[in-house]
Homo-oligomer: A and B are copies of this chain.
Amino acid sequence: MGKYCFGIDVGGTSIKCGLFQTDGILMEKWEIPTRKENNGEAILPDIAKTILDKIEERKLDKAEIDGVGIGVPGPVNDKGEVLCAVNLFWGFKAVTKELTELTGLPSMAGNDANVAALGEAWKGAAAGAKNVIMVTLGTGVGGGIILDGRIISGSHGAGGEIGHAAVQHDETEKCNCGNRGCLEQYASATGIVRVAKRAMEASDEESVLRGFSRLSAKNVLDAYKEGDKLAAKVMDEVGEKLGSALAVFACVVDPEAIVIGGGVSRAGQPLIDCIETHYKKYAFSACKETPIILAKLGNDAGIYGSARMVI
């Protein structure tokens, strides 16, 4: 094991970069813009340049660097290839091959949600746990499964794609993936708003939610915390969908901990509570006490997890 490694997290607008000691200490983090023009052809060269610049700036010995880990928003196979990453305008890209050629360093690639899960299992909310399910509640619902300290990327790069678990068989609206009734349609930020709008249409019940011209998930969660009854019904439905789905996932892989992250998780413990109530109801006896906890690393989970991949 060397002394240092790099963790990179590629997003649609910016690329987060971290220089780590291999014992897990984040020495420095910075960002560069994501240049998506010409099918994002500059993205990997930009990353290589910022890494090589950093090595020179810090006068690091390349022999002491374990490598570069990179998380990308798309499915990644076990050869480190991406078939398609819509948000980067990438089609097929041999990410690790190209990155290693550009930097002269070993590299590993993973899906961004998977990599964030690995970060939380390494140095975040579930630090020290070998088996973790992480759910990222953002615009969509992402997920990552860590077993025995390693990412389960799956046979088609779809390991941890738990946002597309079918949880409501009679749903009439389509999910972005083309199916109907995916977890993402209820538990993402957009999903929570959708559930709230349906609840408002279904009754005349008074609610502060009716006062917003452009309702957001944060509005719903704030109203819920302030005791709004309609918001409580909405969050009960969201908690039921998410808690019961987590109970099913738990009887597949039986994790030590379930970590909830992403923007929606900023609602904090009240969100966990409404998930946990339903989780405990549906979970298999041996898994009922599995802790459901808030993510800790926030936007840094990706660079931590990417770094962990190469150590």
The answer on a CB contact under 8 Å between B131 and A284 is no
Q: Assess the B156–A287 pair: CB atoms within 8 A.
A: yes
| Contact, CB under 8 Å: B254 / A159 | yes
B254 near A253: Cβ-Cβ < 8 Å: no
Q: How far is the CA of A166 from the CA of B75 in the complex (A)?
A: 28
- Using A147-B152, A244-B166, A244-B169 as known contacts, say yes or no to A251 and B284 having CB atoms under 8 A apart: no
In the complex, what residue of chain B is closest to A182 when comparing beta carbons?
B284
Indicate the size class of the contact surface on chain A: 35 or more
Q: In the bound complex, how far is the Cα of B178 from the Cα of A284, in angstroms?
A: 9
| With known contacts A166-B244, A244-B169, A156–B286 Cβ distance under 8 A | yes
Chain B contacts for A158, CB-based, 8 A: 250-251, 254, 284, 286-287
Bound CA span A164–B283, Å: 8
B252 near A177 with CB under 8 A, answer no
**Are A284 and B247 in contact, with the CB atoms below 8 A?**
no
Does A297 reach chain B (CB closer than 8 Å)? no
Residue-by-residue, is A206-236 near B (CB-CB < 8 Å gives 1, otherwise 0)?
0000000000000000000000000000000
Given contacts A158-B284, A166-B282, contact A248 B245 (CB under 8 A): yes
| Chain B residues near A147 (CB-CB < 8 A) | 147, 152
Is the Cβ of A165 less than 8 Å from the Cβ of B287?
Answer: no
A287's nearest neighbour on chain B, judged by CB, is B158
Q: Is A24 an interface residue (CB 8 A)?
A: no
In angstroms, how far is the closest chain B Cβ from the Cβ of A168?
A: 10
> Is A305 located at the chain interface by the 8 A CB criterion?
no
A256 at the interface (CB under 8 A from B): yes
Contact B252 A166, beta carbon cutoff 8 Å: no
Judging by beta carbons under 8 Å apart, are B254 and A252 in contact?
A: no
Q: A158-B284, A158-B287 are in contact. Are A165 and B254 (CB under 8 A)?
A: no
**With a CB–CB cut-off of 8 A, which chain B residues contact A240?**
169
- Encoded as 1 (CB less than 8 Å from any B CB) or 0, chain A from 250 to 285 comes to 111111100000000000000000000000011011
Contact yes or no, B162 A251, CB < 8 A: yes
The number of times this chain is found in the oligomer is 2
A285 with B252: CB separation less than 8 A: no
Q: Does B166 contact A254, Cβ atoms closer than 8 Å?
A: no
Chain B residues near A286 (CB-CB < 8 A):
75, 156-158, 161
Assess whether A90 is interfacial by the CB under 8 Å rule. no
CB distance from A192 to the nearest CB of B (A): 20
Interface residues of A (CB under 8 A from B): 75, 131, 145, 147, 152-162, 164-167, 169, 177-179, 181, 240, 244-245, 247-256, 281-282, 284-287, 290
> Other CB < 8 Å A-B pairs besides A162-B251, A252-B252, 20 of them?
A75-B286, A131-B154, A145-B253, A147-B147, A153-B254, A155-B254, A155-B255, A156-B286, A156-B290, A158-B251, A158-B254, A158-B286, A161-B284, A165-B247, A165-B248, A166-B282, A167-B248, A169-B282, A245-B248, A249-B252
